[in-house]
């Protein structure tokens, strides 16, 4: 067993030297450099985008914003229900949303919505209309209107009109209306960096997906050219292979040795390509300065990603070189 391994390694070493001396080495190098350099640029590009986003988020001084979400992301929140509603007044109607809140004063304080007119205290059950709806349907304060929630009519009296930023001018605000819907929303104040980070993370995800779509086919489809380069390599070292056969080394050992030798050299070129790609990204970052575009980060491929790429390439190169030898020896 040990002898077989030793013989295989010796043959591989001979073939490796033979490949290094041959003219086809340059072709193999170029063919492996192209996909690995592109892959490296893509990986570095992903890290560059990520690093720049992190720098942006770290330096972003956000102001407070009011968020409504289906999950509470703050300890200090208000529960509310948001439902579709049709408001009917005389012969006119509009479709809008109704906010059913438990603590109307806390809601007003958090959202900075102002009650601009009211006919009574709004502590108990009440219905307040957004000023735009009131204007559009010409509903004065104290009017009786019909709300249709889930197609069920509900006669109510408008006891307040409110004004606020965002959507609040267009909605109905109510307390004391019972609804069977279990869907709860949570209203809370947060820093706008929460929103900015959500926007940036989604943009990063989109870019990462696009870059992966570019990287995977480039690596896989270009394999056929690597296969052709291995075929060419065999053509160039076929005299040496013939000598090994004449020395009595079995063809199966030569085949595996050739695959081992090509894989070792291939992996070196892949690492070279990854380094070249990193260098090109750094060069581009430096050139970008002349266009007044400044990048604070200098991305480097993390070791585990390098191992991952090499790990994918080792079986790929071994299979391609083995198959190319099998194809050629078959001829």
Q: Which stretches of the chain bind another protein, using CB under 8 A?
A: 22-23, 27, 30-31, 34, 37-38, 63-70, 82-84, 93-97, 99, 111, 132-133, 136, 164-168, 170-171, 185, 187, 192, 195-196, 198-199, 201-203, 206-207, 209-210, 213-214, 217-218, 221-222, 224-225, 227-229, 231-232, 235-236, 238-239, 291-293
CB of 3 or CB of 151, closer to another protein:
151
Beta bridge partners of 99: 82, 173
CB of 20 or CB of 30, closer to another protein:
30
CB of 120 or CB of 206, closer to another protein:
206
What is the nearest approach in angstroms of another protein to the Cβ of residue 2? Answer: 35
With contact defined as beta carbons under 8 Å apart, do 190 and 142 qualify? no
CB of 268 or CB of 293, closer to another protein:
293
90: left (phi over 0), alpha (psi -120 to 50) or beta: left
CB of 38 or CB of 317, closer to another protein:
38
What is the nearest approach in angstroms of another protein to the Cβ of residue 158? Answer: 16
What is the nearest approach in angstroms of another protein to the Cβ of residue 1? Answer: 36
What is the nearest approach in angstroms of another protein to the Cβ of residue 111? Answer: 7
What is the nearest approach in angstroms of another protein to the Cβ of residue 262? Answer: 15
With contact defined as beta carbons under 8 Å apart, do 259 and 325 qualify? yes
Instruction: Please name the residues in contact with 63: beta carbons below 8 A apart, sequence gap of 6 or more.
Output: 191, 192
CB of 84 or CB of 123, closer to another protein:
84
CB of 52 or CB of 69, closer to another protein:
69
What is the nearest approach in angstroms of another protein to the Cβ of residue 273? Answer: 11
What is the nearest approach in angstroms of another protein to the Cβ of residue 245? Answer: 17
What is the nearest approach in angstroms of another protein to the Cβ of residue 263? Answer: 19
CB of 7 or CB of 192, closer to another protein:
192
Q: Take residue 34 and report the two structure tokens written for it.
A: 């192209």
Token pair 């958090």 in the structure block, residue:
110
Angle at 305 between CA 303 and CA 311, to 5 degrees: 100
């Amino acid at each position: 067993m040990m002898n077989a391994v030793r013989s295989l390694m010796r043959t591989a070493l001979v073939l490796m030297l033979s490949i290094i001396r041959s003219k086809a080495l340059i072709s193999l190098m170029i063919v492996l450099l192209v996909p690995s350099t592109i892959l490296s640029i893509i990986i570095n590009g992903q890290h560059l985008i990520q690093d720049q986003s992190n720098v942006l988020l770290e330096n972003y001084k956000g102001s407070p914003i009011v968020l409504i979400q289906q999950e509470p992301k703050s300890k200090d929140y208000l529960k509310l229900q948001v439902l579709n509603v049709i408001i009917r007044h005389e012969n006119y109607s509009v479709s809008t949303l109704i906010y059913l809140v438990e603590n109307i004063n806390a809601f007003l304080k958090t959202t900075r919505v102002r009650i601009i007119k009211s006919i009574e205290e709004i502590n108990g059950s009440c219905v307040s209309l957004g000023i735009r709806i009131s204007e559009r349907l010409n509903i004065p304060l104290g009017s009786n209107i019909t709300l249709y929630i889930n197609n069920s009519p509900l006669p109510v009296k408008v006891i307040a009109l409110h004004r606020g930023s965002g959507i609040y001018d267009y909605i109905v605000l109510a307390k004391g209306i019972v609804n069977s819907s279990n869907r709860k929303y949570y209203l809370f104040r947060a820093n706008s960096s929460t929103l900015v980070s959500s926007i940036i993370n989604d943009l990063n995800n989109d870019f990462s997906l696009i870059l992966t779509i570019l990287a995977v086919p480039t690596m896989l489809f270009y394999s056929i050219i690597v296969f052709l380069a291995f075929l060419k390599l065999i053509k160039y070292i076929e005299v040496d292979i013939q000598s090994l056969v004449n020395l009595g080394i079995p063809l199966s050992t030569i085949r595996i040795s050739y695959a081992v030798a090509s894989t070792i050299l291939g992996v070196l070129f892949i690492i070279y390509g990854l380094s070249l790609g990193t260098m090109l990204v750094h060069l581009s970052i430096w050139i970008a300065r002349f266009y007044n575009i400044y990048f604070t980060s200098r991305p480097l491929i993390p070791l585990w990603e390098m191992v991952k790429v090499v790990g994918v390439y080792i079986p790929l190169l071994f299979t391609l070189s083995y198959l190319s030898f099998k194809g050629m020896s078959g001829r």
